[in-house]
Amino acid sequence: MSMEPRCVMYVFSGTGNTMLVAEEYRRYLGDKTEIYEIISSFNKLPPPDDYDAVGIGYPVHAFNAPLIVRRFASSLHAGRPMKLFLFHTGGEGLALNDSSSFSIREVLGKEFHIISERHYVMPYNMIFRHSDEMVKHMITYMRRLVPIHAESIKAGQSEKMPLMPFRHMISILFRIEWLYATLQGPHMHAETTCTSCGLCERNCPMGNIQMENGHPVFGRNCALCVRCSFNCPVNAISIGILNGWKVNGRYQIDRIMNDDSTPSKIPIEKLSILYRIYYKNVTK
């Protein structure tokens, strides 16, 4: 492969974390790298044949890729053997998150050879909201790690993709989330504080929201990406029984990264156990 391959990255991102990582890859993979967002009408995306390498990026949802990403992967075809790299983001660094790629590996065409896979811990959009300090720590490490992976992609290095039967089994069990997303979609609703701005309808990657009489109505085609709720300017969207777990509102990453009073790293021994092992491993 030439020093600057022409790469294409297909990316699904609910609240922006995975897209942020994809943009970081583009900085290091070079100007010829193109990013396309995976949305429900993915048949409109350009085929990978014109590129030297293909990347797929997605957020981990219940130890799997979101169903739309699996469907996209199964629809992806190339007329010749191609190298493919994977990257995913998650709210924590559990090794179990690497199980998520099985849902893609199972359906990818034989012409794609997966050369490598990386997990990035990013500020959670579910369960708990991180402190500015933790956000800066995560982004700092992500920005240190992406160029290292990008260099190995540019060099065409191929890593051994291990078989992990136990993790594979766990990922299969958690695919119940795919069904859950469709069942709970219609239980999402906007509170009376909704200002009828229509942002959620315009932003939904699944085309799952329709404004009716100035009010958003949610259908079954939900990916539980929480983009609608995360970005609603008045925090009006309830996401059903998971509502108590959602993180309200965007993290102000630019502000946090530019704030010199926030340290850029937290000593590993001061991190919670959920993160300690991940950061120990990635800094080896």
Which chain residues interact with ligand FMN by CB under 6 A? Answer: 13-18, 59-63, 89-92, 97, 122, 124-126, 224-226
Tokens of 21: 């990582």
Which one of the spans 110-118, 144-152, 220-228, 244-252 is the region binding ligand SF4 (CB under 6 A)? 220-228
- State the minimum distance, in angstroms, from the CB of residue 36 to ligand SF4: 18
The nearer residue to ligand SF4, 74 or 195, going by C-beta atoms, is 195
DSSP notation for 109-128: -TTEEEEEEEEEE---SBS-
Q: Does 122 bind ligand SF4 (CB under 6 A)?
A: no
Which one of the spans 46-54, 94-102, 197-205, 265-273 is the region binding ligand SF4 (CB under 6 A)? 197-205
Q: Give dist(CA 37, CA 107) in Å, integer.
A: 19
- Per-residue burial over 265-276, b if 16 or more Cβ lie within 10 Å, else e, is ebeeeebeeebe
Residue 14 has φ and ψ, to the nearest 5°, of -80, -60
- State the minimum distance, in angstroms, from the CB of residue 58 to ligand FMN: 7
- State the minimum distance, in angstroms, from the CB of residue 148 to ligand FMN: 20
Beta bridge partners of 7: 53
Q: Which does 122 bind (CB under 5 to 8 A by kind): ligand FMN, ligand SF4, none?
A: ligand FMN
E-only strand ranges, the chain: 7-11, 34-37, 53-59, 82-90, 112-121, 189-190, 209-212, 215-218, 237-238
* DSSP assigned state of 90: E
State the Cα angle at 274 between 273 and 278, rounded to 5°: 95
The nearer residue to ligand FMN, 17 or 103, going by C-beta atoms, is 17
Please identify which residue in 69, 228, 247, 253 interacts with ligand SF4, judged by CB under 6 A.
Answer: 228
The nearer residue to ligand SF4, 148 or 234, going by C-beta atoms, is 234
Q: Does 256 bind ligand SF4 (CB under 6 A)?
A: no
- Least Cα distance to 122 among 100, 92, 77 occurs for 92
- State the minimum distance, in angstroms, from the CB of residue 104 to ligand SF4: 19
Q: Does 190 bind ligand SF4 (CB under 6 A)?
A: yes
Q: Which does 90 bind (CB under 5 to 8 A by kind): ligand SF4, ligand FMN, none?
A: ligand FMN
Q: Does 223 bind ligand SF4 (CB under 6 A)?
A: yes
Q: Does 210 bind ligand SF4 (CB under 6 A)?
A: no
Q: Does 196 bind ligand SF4 (CB under 6 A)?
A: yes
Residue 16 has φ and ψ, to the nearest 5°, of 105, -15
- Least Cα distance to 15 among 143, 177, 187, 205 occurs for 205
Q: Does 197 bind ligand SF4 (CB under 6 A)?
A: yes
Q: Which does 139 bind (CB under 5 to 8 A by kind): ligand FMN, ligand SF4, none?
A: none
Q: Does 204 bind ligand SF4 (CB under 6 A)?
A: yes
State which amino acid sits at residue 34: E
What does the chain come to in residues?
Answer: 284
Q: Give the pairing type, strands 7-11 and 34-37.
A: parallel
In the complex, the residues that contact ligand SF4 under the rule CB under 6 A are 14, 185, 188, 190, 194-200, 204, 206, 208-209, 216, 218, 222-228, 232-234, 236-237
